[in-house]
Amino acid sequence: MAIISSPVFYSLLAVVSYVVYKCSNRPKQPAPYPPGPKPVPLLGNVRDLTAKELWLVAEKWAKEYGRINYLHVFGQGLVFLNTPEAVFDLLDKRGAIYSDKPHLVMAGELCGCENMVAFTRYGDRSRRQRRLMQSALGQSSIPQYHPLLEFETRPFLRRMLADPLNYTDHIRRYAGGLTLSVVYGYQVKSNDDQFLGLAEDCVNILSNKIASGGGIWPVDIFPSLQHLPNWMPGAGFKRSAVTWKKKMEEFVDQPYEYTQEEMKRGTARPSFVSTLLESAPQNKDGSIEAQHDHDIRWTANSMYSASIDTTITFMSHFILAMVQHPEVLERAQAEIDAVVGGTRLPSFEDRESLPLCNAIFNETLRWGAPVPLNLPHRLMDDDIYDGMYIPKGSLIFGNIWAITRDEKLYPEAARFNPDRFMTPAEDETAERRRDPRNYVFGFGRRRCPGANLIESSGWLLMTSMIATLDIGKFIDDHGREEAPVVDFNNSVFRTPDVFKCSLRPRSEAALRLVSQEDDA
């Protein structure tokens, strides 16, 4: 008999040995697991998972098995929380044990992302980072960015009109440039800007490569694989990680060092980094204390990653909704015209006077569900909830998609219908339950720290587009309308692939309004 020496054989042997070890050493559980699809021996529920639109599969599990579902892959527990009660009871009220993040060898040690807020384990470092981010992006801090948001609006609208088919590039430049300005005091002046390009590369690597397929790599399940020689067949993930880590470190260091240099010259614009560096504790030689320097450096980088993809996803869904529902756009345009008179762009002071626009914003968040399965939390201790056993180390997913498609909470949930938010709920509790902002930005101590900035910038872009643009189906060279072709291939963010649409100025007056130059 030939001796099998293939790496595949040894990988399979490692899998089998690991699963047998886990099964033989598993303590007796005090209560039944939550219900879920039936696993197969050794592999668990591997065959039930999919890298493409997993949230649709998870929604089916919610309907079939109830408000909490349990699966496992090679013994790694996966728990899906499918109702508002479940996510608030566990991720909010029991946040002390539900706020950890999984130890991901690939994203962390190999790709260098272990110090990013989204990956930091729960503890002193994560609390320090959250405090820093709250100081810059808390609700009370957002009004200071309103002038900057409004200043960037007209250039964004001009770019949209000049090249409507590349709308995602314009949204990315707006969101990326805004965040670079807020975080580092850096002003983006072109689409091929060095820092903007570096930031976009890193966000793409993080979202579509490192986090592809849910972000769980074989090396995360079997950490010993990280010691494979880079040249060995099957070690391609290590070769990729070397390239990705170098790029991620450049994005962490270069904008940060730019701000430091500008501060030395006395030309730094006010920003998150400059403000914190001015008050940072120093060593005797005048250098920043190492821990503080590390926290500011990585928290600043995380602030960019925390907002860019969510903003792009939200705005893409808004455009799609307006293409598919021109009657809603027409009503919103009439509302804005009645408030601003067509002589200026909407401002934040107008928000209370635009109830339909606010309803469209809320419905876009709900209907679009930018991160439909949230980013997973990790349970730090065994827990029992409603008579069901959730083992320590389980990855906990807030099933935002199932919640925002709950027919009891949102009748005709698949339909884009902003009118559902035009009538106040029965009481404060009911209003909280149906407010999509309580779901789409995550939960508990791991809620998206960029939520307030995303909401403000998204609302202003949305209303400015309504005020000045007609948004409709793409019209080909023969004058025929084309319905948008919508597909989703991002495994973490529910970002629709680029679809064709028509973006035109509503009128000559709207074109003049967009063409005006703001005072610097």
In a domain, 306, yes or no: yes
In a domain, residue 53? The reply is yes
CATH code assigned at 189? 1.10.630.10
b or e along 413-451 (b: 16 or more beta carbons within 10 Å of the residue's beta carbon)? Answer: beebbbebbeeeeeeeeeeebbebebbbbbbbbbebbbb
Residue 184 CA, chain-centre distance (Å), reads 21
Instruction: Take residue 8 and report the two structure tokens written for it.
Output: 């595949």
CA 8/CA 13 separation, integer angstroms: 9
User: Does the residue 2 lie in any domain?
Assistant: no
Annotated binding site for heme: 448
Q: CA dist 482 to 168, 449, 474, 478, Å? A: 19, 38, 5, 11
- Residue set of the binding site: 448
Domain encompassing residue 439: 7-515
Residues sharing a CB contact under 8 Å with residue 470, sequence separation 6 or more, in sequence order:
329, 502, 503, 504, 505, 506
How big is the CA angle at 312 (ends 297 and 109), to the nearest 5 degrees?
40
- Per the CB < 8 A criterion, the answer to whether 212 and 349 are in contact is no
H or E element: which one contains 63? helix 54-65
Asked whether the beta carbons of 326 and 360 are under 8 A apart, the reply is no
Q: In this structure, is residue 168 part of a structural domain?
A: yes
The answer to the question of residue 465 being in a domain is yes
Q: Round to whole Å and give the CA distance between 78 and 71.
A: 5
pLDDT in tens, the chain (520 residues): 333 334 443 344 445 555 554 555 556 788 999 999 999 998 899 999 988 899 999 999 999 999 999 999 888 899 999 999 999 999 999 999 999 998 889 988 899 888 888 888 998 988 998 888 888 788 888 898 888 888 889 999 999 999 998 999 899 889 888 889 888 999 888 878 888 888 888 888 887 788 765 567 888 878 888 888 888 888 899 999 999 999 999 999 999 999 999 999 999 988 889 888 888 778 877 778 888 899 999 988 887 766 788 899 999 999 999 999 999 999 999 999 999 988 899 999 999 999 999 999 999 999 999 999 998 999 999 999 999 999 999 999 999 999 999 999 999 999 999 999 998 878 888 888 899 999 999 999 899 888 988 999 999 999 999 999 999 999 988 889 999 999 998 888 899 999 999 999 999 989 999 988 665 4
What does the block give as tokens for 192? 């091929």
231 within some domain = yes
Q: Let me know if residue 278 belongs to a domain.
A: yes
Rounded to an integer, what distance in angstroms lies between the CA atom of residue 417 and that of residue 105? 42
pTM of the model: 0.88
User: b or e along 6-20 (b: 16 or more beta carbons within 10 Å of the residue's beta carbon)?
Assistant: eeeeeeeeebeebbe
Rounded to an integer, what distance in angstroms lies between the CA atom of residue 358 and that of residue 346?
13
Orientation angle between helical segments 451-468 and 167-184, nearest 10 degrees: 140
Distance CA 271, CA 224 (A): 42
Q: Please state the domain count of the chain.
A: 1
Yes or no: say if 400 and 373 are a contact pair by the CB < 8 Å rule: yes
Q: Which amino acid is at 297?
A: R
Q: What is the DSSP string of 89-121?
A: IIIITTHHHH-B----TIIIIITT-TTSTTTPP
Cα three-residue angle 257-261-265, rounded to 5 degrees: 170
Rounded to whole angstroms, what are the CA distances from 483 to 142, 159, 476, 488? 38, 23, 11, 16
pLDDT at 213: 58
**Cα(372)–Cα(366) distance, integer angstroms:** 10
> Cα separations (Å) of 198 from 125, 248, 298, 401?
26, 9, 16, 31
Q: Looking at the domain assignment, is residue 316 inside a domain?
A: yes
pLDDT value of residue 306? 65
Q: Which residues contact 414 (CB under 8 A, 6 or more apart)?
A: 405
**DSSP-derived pairing of the beta strands 395-398 and 76-81:** parallel
The fraction of the chain above a pLDDT of 90, given in percent, is 53
